[in-house]
Chain A
């Protein structure tokens, strides 16, 4: 009798561990997929930037610093590896783009140009998509991490090779500030 009870307990435990393991696997894959979605959106943004810079270059020639900053930030972002690094470099790119869009507001010819308006829409759309992909990734990565850290899953999660997912977050204090735009120069 005691043996039967023991057997039942062991069987239940095994079923429970299998179920938790499978849940963690599916959460890990969701997290990875969430990360790839950010990647897709970042790539879209990188592809879009040269078009934008070309479209405004003619009218904003004397804003060369702003334009160069965007292109340089883009080049750096292309070399990013891993969530933390990407978060930092993409953050800088976002800042440079924000500055460019803000400065472009001062050029009436640009503001009324349909092509530029379309590009601006594309750019704010892409910025939003990056932001929302990031939000989605952080949400599922957080629930993946929580699932690993709660008791009793924390007893075996590490043994099965589960690692907490890195969040895509703002890492430096400078990025947290909104870009400063100096409009007094024009």
Chain B
């Protein structure tokens, strides 16, 4: 697939997973309302509403202040501050970063994000901020030391694409849904320990019949595995957004091989970037935890990874550059 087809496919798949996620939440929520609270047809779904409300509030908090939190926790320093006290050789490196970010801002038609450097020797980069006007882009010192200009441009283009594709917003919605599902699962488990019998009586009173019992059984299984499924769906969205950012980044630079080479180098140097915490993993160029499952291509191992396997990403970029290796 060329880069435009890849972008479309990834957008479509994001929405598909999101739809499944919403449907899953609604099934759990309405089931909870019906089986636990005995809400009849057409009654207001109290539990679903509260769960989604609480999930949204906590997601909204990180939506508005998450960027400051992550920049603080990674000890990221603003580029201007570093430039003021840099040696001659370092000034050149920093100026190059500044230019590359400017170039990608121009190519994407967005305002230039605030630029930060994280004092970490592992090559990695992330973007954060709720919209293009409030965006920040950070690269590690290791990234600046490892990559040449063209490769750095590829990585910055990937991060600018996260900003342009509003991935912070996408992942906030995902976090709200995941939070709501986790709450429902928690309530259901508490409910089972005290007073699990009540709802079955009520069900019988209403005369739900065999279909009702089967539905209840399915719901019960669903709520038991809900936290796992929510995590699975969230990571599915995250991986789609990574592929999408790769493809959009290639559209900005029109040079997919720059990013492909950068990913190869990052993969070769892959150590964990412990300074970046888990909450920001999905906005990094490479999984900051360096989880080994990202390096394997096993289907099961990759289900819970925030990033697709490097080899698959590089292969997709090669396809964009029409340099796919023959099998």
Contacts and interface: CB of A to CB of B under 8 A. Distances in A.
A117 interface: yes
Nearest to A114: B88
A114 B95 CA distance: 13
A97 interface: no
A118 B92 contact: yes
A118 B96 CA distance: 9
Interface string A114-125: 100110011011
B109 A41 contact: no
A129 B92 contact: no
Interface of chain A: mostly helix, strand, loop or mixed: helix
A125 to B, nearest CB: 3
Nearest to A37: B106
Contacts of B149: 124
Interface stretch (A1-9, A61-69, A130-138): A130-138
Contacts, number: 44
A34 interface: yes
Given A121-B92, A129-B103, 16 more contacts: A34-B109, A41-B106, A114-B88, A114-B89, A114-B92, A117-B92, A118-B95, A121-B95, A124-B149, A125-B95, A125-B103, A129-B106, A132-B103, A132-B107, A135-B107, A140-B109
A106 B96 CA distance: 22
Interface string B235-259: 0000000000000000010100000
A128 interface: yes
Interface of A: 34, 37, 41, 114, 117-118, 121-122, 124-125, 128-129, 132-133, 135-136, 140
Contacts of A124: 99, 149
Contacts of A136: 106-109
A118 B88 CA distance: 9
A37 B88 CA distance: 30
B91 interface: yes
B103 A128 contact: yes
Contacts of A129: 99, 102-103, 106
Contacts of A34: 109
Contact of B99 (A37, A117, A128, A135): A128
A128 B88 CA distance: 23
A136 B108 CA distance: 7
Contact of A118 (B91, B153, B252): B91
Given A114-B88, A114-B89, A135-B254, A121 B106 contact: no
24 contacts: A37-B106, A114-B88, A114-B89, A118-B91, A118-B92, A118-B95, A121-B92, A121-B95, A121-B99, A122-B95, A122-B99, A125-B95, A125-B96, A125-B100, A128-B99, A128-B103, A128-B153, A129-B102, A129-B103, A132-B103, A132-B106, A132-B107, A136-B107, A136-B108
A52 to B, nearest CB: 15
Given A135-B254, A136-B109, A121 B96 contact: yes
Nearest to A127: B103
A95 B66 CA distance: 46
Contacts of A122: 95, 99
A140 B108 CA distance: 11
Interface in B67-119: 88-89, 91-92, 95-96, 99-100, 102-104, 106-109
A134 to B, nearest CB: 10
A51 to B, nearest CB: 14
A23 B145 CA distance: 45
